[in-house]
Amino acid sequence: MKNFHYFNLLALGSIQGGRKGSMRGMRVAVLCWMTGSLLAGFVAGSRSVGAAPSNPVAIVAEPATQTKVAERQLANGMRVFVKTDRRAPVVVSMVWYGVGSVDEVNGRTGLAHVLEHMMFKGTHALPAGEFSKQVSQAGGRENAFTSRDYTAYHETIQSSQLALMLQLEADRMQNALIAPDEFAKEIKVIMEERRWRTDDKPRAQLHEQLMASALLAHPHRTPVVGWMNDLEHLRAEDARDFYSQWYAPNNALLVVVGDVSAQEGFALAEKAFGSIAAKTLPPRRPQEEPQQKGIRRIVFKAPAEQAMLLMAYRAPKIVDFEKDWEPYALDVLSSVLAGSDAARLNRELVRGTEVASAADASYDGLGRGPGFFYFSAIPSKNQNVKTVEAALRAQIKKIIDEGVSAQELQRIRTQVLASRVYERDAMMFQANQIGQMAILGLPIRAIEVMDERSHLITADQVREVAKKYLVDDALTVAELVPLPVTQPRNSKPPVGLRDEK
């Protein structure tokens, strides 16, 4: 599945500092250049943490091997996944925690993301900033991201430094300080991050409003970064309580991909994490969203240069990855509509009638919340949101009435195969695939099964899901009405903000 909805990164709806991936290939925006740039760093010296290289060096000379993922569970419940890839003396290490903004409560939104920041602010053994300093001195790169459903921390390093990285991660799993003075400084940075990424970005604000309207009860309705009023009132003890509740080996998993054997990876994981005691995790209650029974519309006004339209249809998510077929058909439908120059929205609305200057469609069917099928569009000059919405609806009706062609399906299958080969060539991407599957409770073999199931979707099935799910009773529409821009927008990130990815 191609990348999820059009403004996901800007809107911080799914991942704070990154981008949520999809079923087909899990295209998480996770710095796939990191593996290539790291080896150059071994020669040229370390770079600042989180900074993209100006001239990344490719180190992959041949396609990634199809080495199987080895899996083991430690006595304390922590799961460990190791995939050997010997093409370079590099490993990617990721620690995933099964906690995200979905686990927050009203009045404390943004807490999962705040805690992610605080995990870099010192332990009993290391002062604030020392974690990143040690990674850099070891020739590595590190970062983290928070999503609605999980939080992940990752390092890309020389394989000889893997033991050190795991020791550092094990230390902050159990010994994070979350000191009041560091919290007071960092929460200001996070509030500025919200202003910079969301409050000063009309597109991000519109998406935030869309999700708050599309969902009435489910916590996925709140932004990962949190509401500003909640951030203003969070305290260090809130973060400490959240940390104490959820950061435990039995709520975490380790993924290691690269120049390491399964036996060595398991041994290092046992040495670093094996002595950490499991915890009794808070019980999770069912969080079912009430059925939508009619179209919802919102109009949002903000200083902006262009009008904008977002549409979100409630749609099924994957429950049984081997038996379900509708999520895969919705995924293929999104590729029929968008994702390439040959896709319908670009061909018909952007280049054809020129009713839109940009148009996209995507499907989000993974995670602990409801699934959605999204449309987004920016009207062309002398066009308006109503015209664009009518054009999008006409494309939906055309698929329902006429279906899709064999040529379109073949194009999509070819694109999927090509992207799968390309994306899985990167160690970071492999680690993200494995981690996201595992943290969402899916077996690793689901990666291949999902690709295979998408490949088998027929034109009739695509037509059927369009008819069944792209209906007004499941639709939320958000319109951005542009107001005059009276002040220049700040294009620079706030001082002290890590380039989270």
| Per-residue pLDDT reduced to its tens digit, 425-456 | 799 999 999 999 999 999 999 988 998 898 89
pLDDT at residue 490 is higher than 70: no
Contacts (Cβ under 8 Å, ≥6 apart) of 128? 120, 121, 122, 179, 182
Average pLDDT over residues 365-374: 96
pLDDT at 493: 73
pLDDT at 376: 98
pLDDT at 499: 61
pTM assigned to the model: 0.86
State how beta strands 296-303 and 90-97 pair. Answer: unpaired
Strand partners, 257: 83, 92
Backbone angles phi, psi at 291, to 5 degrees: -65, 135
Backbone angles phi, psi at 160, to 5 degrees: -70, -15
pLDDT digits (tens, 9 = 90+) for 300-324: 999 999 999 999 999 999 999 999 9
Give the number of other CB atoms < 10 A from CB of residue 143: 23
Lowest mean pLDDT among 32-46, 127-141, 268-282, 454-468: 32-46
Q: Do 146 and 15 contact (CB within 8 A), yes or no?
A: yes
pLDDT at residue 45 is higher than 60: no
pLDDT at 394: 98
Average pLDDT, the chain: 86
pLDDT digits (tens, 9 = 90+) for 58-108: 333 334 445 799 999 999 999 999 999 999 999 999 999 999 999 999 999
pLDDT band at 17 (very low <50, low <70, confident <90, very high): low
pLDDT at 53: 30
- Secondary structure class of 86 (helix, strand, coil): coil
Give the number of other CB atoms < 10 A from CB of residue 218: 18
Q: Looking up tokens 């973060």, which residue turns up?
A: 239
Percent of the chain with pLDDT over 90: 76
Among residues 145, 183, 155, 136, the alpha carbon closest in space to that of 272 is found at 155
pLDDT at residue 18 is higher than 90: no
pLDDT at residue 158 is higher than 80: yes
- Tell me which residues are annotated as active site: 116
What angle do helix axes 446-455 and 326-337 make, rounded to 10 degrees? Answer: 60
* Element counts in the chain: helices (H) and strands (E): 17, 12
State how beta strands 70-73 and 151-158 pair. Answer: unpaired
Cα 291 to chain centroid distance, Å, stands at: 26
pLDDT at residue 40 is higher than 60: no
Selected residue with higher pLDDT from 224 and 414: 224
- Long-range contact list for 41-46, CB < 8 A, 24+ apart? 41/139, 41/141, 42/139, 42/158, 46/136, 46/137, 46/139, 46/140
Lowest mean pLDDT among 121-125, 280-284, 413-417, 476-480: 413-417
Domains of the chain: 29-273 (3.30.830.10), 296-483 (3.30.830.10)
Give the number of other CB atoms < 10 A from CB of residue 413: 16
Q: Compute the distance between CA of residue 423 and CA of residue 141 in angstroms, rounded to an integer.
A: 20
Strand partners, 475: 313
The number of residues making up the chain comes to 501
Q: Do 335 and 2 contact (CB within 8 A), yes or no?
A: yes
pLDDT at 495: 67
